[in-house]
Chains A and B, each alone.
Chain A
């Protein structure tokens, strides 16, 4: 398996999902080689970890040079150079292509130190990671199938498949359409498309995501299997942390970005506060839309009832869930969305958008369209005031949670592997 991050060093849900999946695979006695760009040394030893930063790429291998040429092409395409005229841009890219594709043996001679983050050299790291993927596939024969998680690892998966001839499964945890709406970053889209097409089979984290693979990336539906995410721990968390304010609390917790639909939460808050002033709304997290949300809250004159906490970590996240009376996830496009399940673990009733994968597995939640702020406001008001429904949701939600096990996901994945290998044979 090729991933990009692994607990405890994670910045999103990808690493956690990989961890859960490996746990599940271990139950089914599947041996997993897990490659990450950078190992920190404090990862739980659940798999045969390979640190990509420690792999030396053998420059004598001719096939690598061809691979590097193709990858560099992608990379050059991703250069975002503003304010260059067409001529200047051509000169620039010619130079870049020439410079980078010339047989540059320094590229191969030393180990490349990956940051494993999502920084400005991301595209370069993705390409280098692919070379490492090729090297590992050439060196090792103790694997049957290749599994790449999300676009960052697709080039590595493709390279490994080319080297080894073994089948490739790509795992779509999110797509560029989820992250950016219709204004997609083209090079990323290209990598995603190439990965899905090169794959022998595609795994999507929800039906919603499968539909995007089919409609936007042109993948035949029979080539895509839906494997919903699960939770590592379904136990109910009883916190001793006490709320300090008399009002009820309605919470949004996540990145404050387009994908998460924060503006719909703000608009719904206004509608609720107008009807019931004894409510506080909290937007926990940070992101590029934070300042816009702050402005809007001020404009709607609800600054003393709508609060921003900034990015929360550690105990603060648990405290936030613990003091929330309703949790809302109004995502515009959410491939899965694990956060509402965390809320359920804290006995907090949840409202989720129909445009989220988690809506496919969580029945005891109110589901609304992300754009329908009236429905969202009604749902918030209802859960705050009609204790019966709130109680029912928390009880039944907890039961549903117990069924969402990585063990079951892994079992389905094993079936996918078997079918894929059978098709090859």
Chain B
């Protein structure tokens, strides 16, 4: 078996509105509805709608031989319902073909796996329920954690929840000489199979596609299939994991990214013996070659493939710790508005905006941040959190 496994991440956070010190104790609405709606609707026109219709066209043309997987965060599902119901319908149509797999993640794209098992489980179950509700009872069997964050412990928790497989980054520093193009298993619970992102081939599409200073520019389907064919014959699976916004947002339509995707299946079918599979199919078909040891968490971000985009500087750690200090009290609260804010405040993007790694990967970070500086991001988040703490303290216990 030689197969290509596409997984696309679909996520947008609930961004905070500018929230001033004077608002603390008085204004309990934190979200920037205008900005959030704008981002979704703009991305819908440039990416979600055209790409969904292209994928539907390909799935129908190849009658199920072409297939992909999505992980759609809960914050995205909620915003889709509110701001872009046509996008939700187009995802529902894709899933209804039976050739699109949905993955499970934490409902609010949270970093809870690093902090609290209880919260992590609660958010996974909530995401599960939400997917069932929106996609005709669909029940994911493979898990994808926020930002592909993974460690032996996180894998063990995911195995405990009954998932058969989990996706993460094929980070060089954990693989060493090993190849990402095999199935591995969790070091603590070998029942959980691990799929690793082939970051070179994934990033050729996601990051380098439109970069005309890149030596291999322009990337054609012929070239890409040649690279696939050049891989050692015994390596069974190439995992191409990327943000869905790659198509039309990060790589504009003018780069030819849609045409590339339109012709890629044909090129693969005619010029190679590769097929397409979804993560669950890969997990079902292949046995692990060995387990993989990841004692400290990895992610798919930046050159370091670690957690430093979200945690590690004092501001990030302060924001993160102050938030999760509230968990015990939150468990006793039943006010749905408060719980919703609790979940949305956990979204990893809020911590990403506070990242100060300006000089190495800062440019990527700035592109994604609605704030001028990480300091602004921290001040705004802490003002909101201060108000939220007052509400939690005042809330009646159930």
What is the interface of chain A, defined by CB distance below 8 A to chain B?
Answer: 243-246, 280, 282, 290-291, 294-295, 297-299, 301, 303-305, 307-310, 316, 319
Evaluate whether A294 and B21 lie within 8 angstroms (CB atoms) in the complex, with A244-B26, A307-B383, A307-B386 already known: no
Known: A294-B379, A319-B22. 5 other contacts (CB 8 A): A294-B378, A297-B318, A298-B319, A301-B322, A303-B318
- Please tell me if the beta carbons of B375 and A307 are within 8 angstroms of each other in the complex: no
Which 7 pairs from chain A and chain B are nearest by CB? A244-B25, A298-B314, A298-B315, A245-B25, A298-B318, A244-B26, A299-B314
- Please tell me if the beta carbons of B22 and A316 are within 8 angstroms of each other in the complex: yes
Evaluate whether A244 and B24 lie within 8 angstroms (CB atoms) in the complex, with A295-B314, A304-B322 already known: yes
- Please tell me if the beta carbons of A291 and B319 are within 8 angstroms of each other in the complex: no
Report Cα–Cα, A319/B21, bound state, in Å.
11
**Contact partners of A243 in chain B: CB under 8 A:** 25
Evaluate whether A304 and B22 lie within 8 angstroms (CB atoms) in the complex, with A294-B315, A294-B378, A298-B318 already known: no
Per-residue CB contact flags for chain B residues 20-31 toward chain A (1 = under 8 Å, else 0) read 111111100000
Residue of A nearest to B20 (CB): A309
For B378, give its contact among A246, A298, A316, A319 (CB under 8 Å).
A298
For A244, give its contact among B22, B313, B379, B385 (CB under 8 Å).
B22
- Please tell me if the beta carbons of B24 and A245 are within 8 angstroms of each other in the complex: yes
**Contact partners of B375 in chain A: CB under 8 A:** 290-291, 294-295
For B389, give its contact among A282, A299, A304 (CB under 8 Å).
A304
- Please tell me if the beta carbons of B390 and A246 are within 8 angstroms of each other in the complex: yes
- Please tell me if the beta carbons of B379 and A308 are within 8 angstroms of each other in the complex: yes
- Please tell me if the beta carbons of B386 and A304 are within 8 angstroms of each other in the complex: yes
- Please tell me if the beta carbons of B390 and A303 are within 8 angstroms of each other in the complex: no
How many CB-defined contacts (below 8 Å) exist between A and B? 63
- Please tell me if the beta carbons of A304 and B385 are within 8 angstroms of each other in the complex: yes
Residue of B nearest to A241 (CB): B22
Shortest distance from the beta carbon of B324 to any chain A beta carbon, whole Å: 12
The answer to whether B60 has its CB under 8 Å from any CB of chain A is no
Report Cα–Cα, A309/B375, bound state, in Å.
12
Residue of A nearest to B390 (CB): A245
The answer to whether B373 has its CB under 8 Å from any CB of chain A is yes
Report Cα–Cα, A244/B22, bound state, in Å.
8
The answer to whether B228 has its CB under 8 Å from any CB of chain A is no
**Contact partners of B378 in chain A: CB under 8 A:** 294, 298, 303
**Contact partners of A316 in chain B: CB under 8 A:** 22
**Contact partners of B379 in chain A: CB under 8 A:** 294, 307-308, 310
Residues of B73-104 contacting chain A, CB below 8 A:
none
**Contact partners of B318 in chain A: CB under 8 A:** 297-299, 301, 303
Report Cα–Cα, A290/B378, bound state, in Å.
12
Residues of B352-398 contacting chain A, CB below 8 A:
373, 375, 378-379, 382-383, 385-386, 389-390
- Please tell me if the beta carbons of A303 and B22 are within 8 angstroms of each other in the complex: no
- Please tell me if the beta carbons of A301 and B321 are within 8 angstroms of each other in the complex: yes
**Contact partners of A307 in chain B: CB under 8 A:** 21, 24, 379, 382-383, 386
